[in-house]
Amino acid sequence: PLVTTQQMLKDAQKHKYAVGAFNVENMEMVMAVIEAAEELKSPVILQTTPSTVSYAGLELYLANVSALANKATIPVALHLDHGNSFELCMKALRVGYTSIMIDGSHESFEDNIEISKRVADACRPSAISVEAELGKVGGKEDDLDGGDENPYTNPTEAVEFVKRTNVSSLAVGIGTAHGVYKGEPKLAIDVLKDIKKVVSIPLVLHGTSGVADEVVKECIQNGICKVNYATDLRIAFTKGVKEVLEDKPETIDPKKYNTIGKEYVKEYVKEKMHVCDSVNKA
Ligand code: 13P
Ligand code: ZN
Ligand code: NA
């Protein structure tokens, strides 16, 4: 069924695993992610960025996800990733998204608190969970630029932020970046540990494509309950499509090449569900 992320992330926190949150762009990617979760009996989060939303609309993603989630035995959540305005967050809430991120990390500390609290307050009556971000994730998530100032979340600020906003989960800056890494990413596990000591809500890792599985596992042992993967799913899907079209350029049926793209995404998602240790947790 389609559920919120609240209970999912609480369970993950309690049992020290994480729920994978996978960015989807089209129907085939939605199918791939939910089939992977069903086969592995894993809870799962599907998410769309504002640029993905502007590609096909909130309603179309919700319709695809809920059609499959309603038939699934595992809990499925649909999350707005990097919501960039109060208005978009409210649209997602009204349409039926079950989890919402407001990303005010590009604003000042006070402005970030203000907008995050506003979204959390508006979502509370419907019991829809709200993720906010404090600190910076590098690189670009679609057209959102992470900037390159000190990216690390300050633990003392995190305490005040959570207390004043009442958000359900917190995305942290610990050295990850969206997109493909130029070198080997260096994650500040010590910063994560310091945040975990003082913040009790579930913590979220962004920019995970390209982070070594062992490092992701270490993050999960230290308080990360939701792990975001986007870029690698796009790469996997496109690789499948390309292989078919290069191998058989006469192909005209989208089902033929989309099927291979879908299979590659499904394989990748299953692998990451093992990394998150969410297998057989549904
Ligand atoms: P990647 O594209 O690096 O996997 O980051 C995903 C993400 O943080 C989505 O919000
Ligand atoms: Zn992100
Ligand atoms: Na990345």
CB distance 226 to 19 below 8 Å = yes
CATH number at residue 234: 3.20.20.70
Q: Is 93 domain-assigned? A: yes
Task: Convert the pLDDT of each residue in 187-198 to its tens digit.
Answer: 999 999 999 999
Q: Which domain holds residue 30?
A: 5-276
Residue 125's pLDDT is 97
In a domain, 247, yes or no: yes
CA Rg value for the chain: 18
Spans of the chain, pLDDT less than 70 = 140-149
pLDDT at 244: 98
Sole residue written with tokens 């499948």? 240
Ligand nearest to the CA of 180: 3
Protein residues near ligand 3, an ion, with CB under 5 A? 207, 209-210
- Annotate the chain with three-state secondary structure: CECCHHHHHHHHHHHCCCEEEEECCCHHHHHHHHHHHHHHCCCEEEEECHHHHHHHCHHHHHHHHHHHHCCCCCCEEEEEEEECCHHHHHHHHHHCCCEEEECCCCCCHHHHHHHHHHHHHHHHHHCCEEEEEECCCECEECCEECCCCCCCCCHHHHHHHHHHHCCCEEEECCCCECCCCCCCCCCCHHHHHHHHHHCCCCEEECCCCCCCHHHHHHHHHCCEEEEEECHHHHHHHHHHHHHHHHHCCCCCCHHHHHHHHHHHHHHHHHHHHHHHCCCCCC
Predicted local confidence at residue 145, as pLDDT: 47
Ligand 2: centre distance to CA 216 (Å): 15
Q: How far is the CA of 138 from the centre of ligand 3 (A)?
A: 9
Q: What confidence score (pLDDT) does residue 143 get? A: 46
Number of domains in the chain: 1
Domain assignment of residue 41, yes or no: yes
In a domain, 282, yes or no: no
What integer pLDDT is reported at residue 150 of this predicted model? 77
CA 5 vs. chain centroid, Å, equals 11
146: in domain: yes
Residue 147 within any structural domain of the chain: yes
Closest ligand to C-alpha of residue 210 is 3
Q: Is residue 166 part of a domain?
A: yes
User: Which residues lie with the beta carbon below 6 Å from any ligand 1 atom?
Assistant: 23, 81-82, 141, 178-179, 206-209, 228-232
**What pLDDT score does 138 carry?**
85
Q: Does residue 81 have an active-site annotation?
A: yes
Q: Which atom of ligand 1 is nearest to the CA of 82?
A: 10
Q: Is residue 37 domain-resident?
A: yes
